Amino acid sequence: MFDDLVAEAAAEPVEGWDFSWLDGRATEARPSWGYQRLLGSRLRGVQAALDLETGGGEVLDGCPALPPLMVATESWPPNIAKASARLRPRGVTVVATAGFPFRDSVFDLVSSRHPVTTDWPGIARVLRPGGTYFSQQVGPASVFELVEFFLGPQPADTRTSRHPDHAVRAAAEAGLEVTDLRSESLRTEFFDIGAVVYFLRKVIWMVPGFTVGQYRDKLRELHEKIERDGPFVAHTTRFLIEARKP
C-alpha cells in the first residue's frame, strides 16, 4: 500500500495552484476572512490592478469582475502556461517575470496570495498615490509539524521569519500605511502518505529539494504513523495585510 500511494502521488502533475487532487486525502481549514471574495470586491472598484505570483491564475480567475487594465505576473514556467491559458481569455496580460518591469505609479491595486517574498519597495513604487496592496500571506512556522518531521527542529529565526510584525515594519519602511492586519492558525490534516508526497512536491519551499528517493525512509515512517495513529495533524498560519500608499 505504501509503494502504491507514493507512486501515485509522485506521478501526479503539480503545475498551478489547484489542490483539488487532495480532496478526501487532506484538509486545511480556511481563514475566516475569505481572501478571494475580498479581492473580488476590491477589483470591482479600480481601473488598473496587478496580481503578483498568480500561480496558475486560479484565484484571480475566480473573481467575477476584473478592471480594464489587469496584469498578472508569474515566474515558474509550468504556471506561466497555465495562467496564460486561463487568464488571457479574460483580458489579463500575463507577464513572465519575478520582478517589477512596470512604470512608477501605474496601479490602483497590487495583490498577492501566498507570495514567496514581498518586495515592499517595488510594490510602493508601482502603486499610484492612494493605491493599496492587498495580500494573504503564509505566517510563521506554517505546517512546521510536517517540516520538522522531515528536517528536524528548526532554528528560532526560521520559525519566526514570516511573522506579520515583520511585514508591518517592512511596509512602513517602504512608505506604506498598514490599514488592516489579521492572522489565524488553522488545522491541517493529512490522511495518507500520498497526500504528504503531493503537498511537498507542490509546495516546494516546505522541504527544499524534496524527492521521494531522498526521503523514502522518513516517508515510510510517517506512513506507518498515520496507519497506526490516524491523520497527521499540522497547523497552517495565515495573515491578511492591506497597506495604502499615501
All structural domains of the chain with their residue ranges = 2-244
Residue 121 banded pLDDT, cuts 50, 70, 90: very high
Residue 160 banded pLDDT, cuts 50, 70, 90: confident
pLDDT at 243 over 90: yes
In this prediction, residue 114 carries a pLDDT of: 94
How much is the average pLDDT of 105-130?
Answer: 97
In this prediction, residue 157 carries a pLDDT of: 85
Q: Phi and psi of 160, rounded to 5°?
A: -110, 10
**Nearest by Cα to 67 from 94, 102, 87, 92:** 92
Eight-state DSSP code of residue 20: G
Q: Give 232's Cβ-side CA count (13 Å radius).
A: 26
**Nearest by Cα to 214 from 1, 5, 6, 4:** 6
Cell numbers placing 199? 503537498
* CATH topology assigned to domain 2-244: Rossmann fold (3.40.50)
Q: What share of the chain in percent tops pLDDT 90?
A: 92
Residue 76 banded pLDDT, cuts 50, 70, 90: confident
**Nearest by Cα to 236 from 158, 183, 180:** 183
**Nearest by Cα to 60 from 77, 42, 75, 78:** 42
Taking the C-alpha atoms of residue 167 and residue 60, their distance in angstroms, rounded to an integer, is 23
Residue 233: beta bridge partners? 189
Q: Are 123 and 61 in contact (CB under 8 A)?
A: no
Residue 46 banded pLDDT, cuts 50, 70, 90: very high
- The three-class DSSP label of residue 68 is coil
In this prediction, residue 86 carries a pLDDT of: 97
